[in-house]
């Protein structure tokens, strides 16, 4: 599958390559010996974009019935593009926060020697579970509608 900007992805492969060229610890993406080719990278970016697309963003879509949430009535935020890259990387590497995973597994506390960690009730509401990457979630939530509409 090929990336078609704003139809199936918020980021082009070239934009993602530039992002990962500057990102520390991105060997899984940039190392040609890792076995990930451009087709797999495009699939990761499309999948990550679809996950980011599930949020309810501020502003209005630029066109009625457009396939994705962006473009909107404001310039495409770099945060959203960065979030797609971070989510794609998390999907590639399988990295999620150990604490998030523990909470999702309904673990209430862990003790190791003299140290311990306790978790409150489930840490996340529905939308907090949409993304694997906490970094991506942080970037996206800046652009998500907050509160409720009432008449």
- Looking at residue 146, its pLDDT comes to 83
Q: What is the pLDDT of residue 123?
A: 46
Burial 31-61 (b: 16+ CB within 10 A, else e): eeeeebeeeebbbbbbbbbebbbebebeeee
Q: What does the pLDDT average to over 39-59? A: 96
Two tokens, residue 138: 């942080």
Start-to-end Cα distance in the chain: 44
Say which residue the tokens 């599930």 belong to: 54
Q: What is the pLDDT of residue 104?
A: 63
Between CA 133 and CA 91 the distance in angstroms is 8
Q: Answer with the residue of higher pLDDT: 125 or 104.
A: 104
pTM of the model: 0.78
121 has a pLDDT exceeding 60: no
């Amino acid at each position: 599958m090929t990336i078609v900007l704003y139809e199936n992805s918020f980021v082009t492969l070239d934009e993602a390559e530039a992002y990962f060229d500057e990102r520390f610890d991105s060997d899984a993406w940039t190392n040609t010996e890792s076995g990930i080719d451009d087709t797999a990278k495009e699939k990761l970016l499309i999948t990550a974009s679809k996950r980011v697309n599930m949020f309810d963003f501020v502003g209005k879509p630029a066109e009625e019935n457009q396939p994705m949430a962006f473009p909107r009535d404001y310039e495409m935020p770099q945060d959203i593009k960065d979030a797609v890259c971070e989510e794609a990387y998390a999907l590639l590497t399988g990295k999620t926060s150990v604490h998030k995973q523990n909470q999702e597994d309904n673990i209430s506390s862990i003790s190791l020697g003299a140290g311990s960690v306790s978790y409150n009730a489930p840490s996340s509401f529905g939308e907090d579970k949409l993304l694997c990457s906490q970094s991506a979630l942080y970037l996206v939530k800046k652009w998500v509608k907050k509160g409720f509409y009432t008449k």
